[in-house]
Amino acid sequence: MQSFKMRLAGVVALAALALTACSGPGAEQRTTADVPGPSGGKLKVAVVTHGSLGDAFWNVVQNGALQAGKDLDVSVTYYSDGDPISQAKLIDNAVAQRVGGLVVSMANPQALQTSVQNAVKAGIPVVTINSGEDSSVAFGAIAHVGQSEGLAGHGAGQRLKDAGKAHLLCVIHEAGNIGQNQRCDGAKQSFSHATTLQVDINNPNDVQARIRGALQANPSIDAVLALNSQIAVRAYSAAKEASSKVQVATFDLNNEVVSGIKSGDILFAVDQQQYEQGYLPIVILKLYTQNGNTLGGGKPVQTGPGFVDKSNVDAITPYIQGGTR
């Protein structure tokens, strides 16, 4: 944790020195500053993600983006919509408003392709985050910040296999989300027996019922991999209802997952450090706009995967409670 904080502080410090940026309160509300954007005035960045506001994961992404705006004196506006058509419209609106930079998560790259490419054609630098890594360069983005989902899934699957598990149930909670399919595909590589279950995160009671039904129908399942912290809690509850000794692991963190790891009810969580997925794109866009810098050399800037288990959960608990992990 110490090295991460030092690393992040160093990035901010270098950005501040290189750009002589001035930080100030309420950066997302201010309209003028001494650091010009591409059309004069303060650099304005729109962040458009596919996650729902109020979701523990995306709240942390938003916290990172807004804090970077304050630290670097960039005007940051955050938008979110889980429907890809609506998300594309939000991107189009940002382009029409002539923002100086755009940050986009691409769970459904095909639905966003035209909108993202139109932003690039309009001369707006785009940084993609979280999902859509494989399409980022093709669509014209200057960088992608996130974790490679297939590699993360493979790492999670290997950990479950090393724990002695033999039959995996991987739970996908968003239809059409390419990243979730990549996670399950990666995890399945470690198992000769693996099953995928499709649920709808917007119907939590049905999620729990479907997982319980899958465990009751196939008692040989001894590992459940959730792709979201909310689903992990439902999976553990479903296992109790089914009187199953299945081991639950998950992607992402919240307070309930932390409690589950501490109690042993959840084996581990894959941590992709989503605060960085909000924060770093603002740094990248500021440096690109002001100094022509790029980052990653055409390859993703990896924020994960990391793994949180009993050995390190106590050290990061304060950051989770503070909304930065």
Give tens-digit pLDDT for 237-273. Answer: 999 999 999 999 999 999 999 999 999 999 999 999 9
Domain count, the chain: 2
Q: Whole-number mean pLDDT of the chain?
A: 89
Nearest to 231 by CA among 245, 252, 246: 252
Give the phi and the psi of residue 48 in degrees, each rounded to 5: -125, 110
Same domain, 10 and 98: yes
In this model, does residue 23 exceed pLDDT 60? no
Find residue 196's DSSP bridge partners. Answer: 170
- For position 226, which CATH number holds? 3.40.50.2300
User: How much is the pTM?
Assistant: 0.84
Q: Which of 19-23, 29-33, 74-78 has the highest mean pLDDT?
A: 74-78
pLDDT of 17 reads: 38
In this model, does residue 295 exceed pLDDT 80? yes
Same domain, 207 and 125: no
Give the phi and the psi of residue 143 in degrees, each rounded to 5: -165, 160
Same domain, 31 and 141: yes
Same domain, 141 and 288: yes
Asked if residue 8 is part of any domain, the answer here is yes
Per-residue pLDDT of 157-182, as tens digits, reads 999 999 999 999 999 999 889 999 99
Contact present, 79 and 105 (Cβ < 8 Å): no
Same domain, 100 and 62: yes
Contact present, 231 and 266 (Cβ < 8 Å): no
Same domain, 122 and 6: yes
Give the phi and the psi of residue 13 in degrees, each rounded to 5: -65, -45
Same domain, 139 and 284: yes
Same domain, 32 and 139: yes
Of the pLDDT bands very low, low, confident and very high (cuts 50, 70, 90), residue 216 is: very high
Cα–Cα distance for residue pair 72/24, rounded to 1 Å: 8
Cα–Cα distance for residue pair 217/197, rounded to 1 Å: 13
Same domain, 66 and 93: yes
Asked if residue 213 is part of any domain, the answer here is yes
Asked if residue 41 is part of any domain, the answer here is yes
Q: What residues contact residue 172 under an 8 Å CB cut-off, 6+ apart? A: 180, 181, 184, 196, 197, 198, 199, 227
Same domain, 36 and 143: yes
Asked if residue 321 is part of any domain, the answer here is no
In this model, does residue 276 exceed pLDDT 90? yes
Of the pLDDT bands very low, low, confident and very high (cuts 50, 70, 90), residue 286 is: very high
Of the pLDDT bands very low, low, confident and very high (cuts 50, 70, 90), residue 51 is: confident
Same domain, 95 and 7: yes
Asked if residue 54 is part of any domain, the answer here is yes
Nearest to 228 by CA among 201, 255, 247: 201
Which domain covers residue 88, as residue numbers? 2-147+273-310
Positive or negative, the Cα torsion across 56, 59, 61, 64? Answer: negative
Asked if residue 323 is part of any domain, the answer here is no
In this model, does residue 196 exceed pLDDT 60? yes
Asked if residue 18 is part of any domain, the answer here is yes
Same domain, 228 and 90: no
Q: Please state, for a pLDDT cut of 70, what percent of the chain lies above it.
A: 87
Cα–Cα distance for residue pair 202/195, rounded to 1 Å: 22
Cα–Cα distance for residue pair 232/187, rounded to 1 Å: 16
Asked if residue 305 is part of any domain, the answer here is yes
pLDDT of 4 reads: 39
Alpha helices in the chain (DSSP H): 2-19, 56-72, 84-96, 109-121, 133-139, 149-162, 178-188, 204-217, 229-241, 255-263, 274-291, 313-321
Per-residue pLDDT of 103-138, as tens digits, reads 999 999 999 999 999 999 999 999 999 999 999 999
